[in-house]
Amino acid sequence: MDLRVYAENISKRAKKSQKDLIKINTEIKNRALLRAAELIMERKEEIQGKNRKDLEKAEKKGYSKALLDRLALNEKRISGMVQVLKDVASLPDPVGQVISMWTRPNGLKIGRMRVPLGTI
């Protein structure tokens, strides 16, 4: 399958699932983030193996050493990804927070609320 088509399919599926994700409560979102962290750690050897193959292909195509370095998933980077997922799960959920509210001269109340717009 063409890489562009593959990426577009992933994007479309993410967009479609966005409507369902908006309705999910904080506990479920946090459990999903923590489970993703667990799965990354459980499958890190597999992830690194696939990454090595991708890096070999990229090197053959002439990608720069700097880009190859940025794409490399070593132990430190995988641990960093896992830690970021855990950190996000520990943050207060901003969805639904009213960040400002004011009343217009005609009595109409206007507010700004944090709402989900996309996916990670």
Other beta carbons within 10 angstroms of residue 37's beta carbon come to: 19
Higher model confidence: residue 25 or residue 103?
A: 103
Q: Which residue has the tokens 């409560």?
A: 25
**pLDDT (0 to 100) of residue 114:** 87
Sign of CA dihedral 75, 78, 82, 84: positive
pLDDT in tens, 39-69: 999 999 999 999 999 999 999 999 999 999 9
Per-residue pLDDT of 6-27, as tens digits, reads 888 888 887 777 777 777 889 9
Number of H helices, E strands in the chain: 5, 2
